[in-house]
Amino acid sequence: MGSNAALKASLGMGAYAAAKAGVHSLTQALAEELKGDGVTVNAVLPSIIDTPANRKDMPDADPSAWVAPDDLAAVILFLASEAARAVTGALLPVTGRV
């Protein structure tokens, strides 16, 4: 699980963005290391996920633009499925309308 914040950091999120950038690099390195063994390694990069905690922490935001948990889960399930067997090293943004 990566984060779109590593591609487009917001004010005050430098440490978080840097940590998630490490996840992105690790994903791509592991994809290279393991592709010969038939193992795929990918990361989804969500923006803000519509959760009760995020709604509480950001009461003035518009959650209709956020990523629905079911939509994020659908992307993860695709990447874990046989249909995604040819996808490895992908950093897939899942950003809703943020």
65 is annotated as an active-site residue: no
Gyration radius from the chain CA atoms: 15
Q: Which of 8, 9, 16, 78 is catalytic?
A: 16
Residue 65 in tokens: 């633009």
Distances (CA, A) of 36 to 24, 40, 66: 20, 10, 37
Pairing of strands 91-94, 43-46: parallel
Catalytic residues: 16
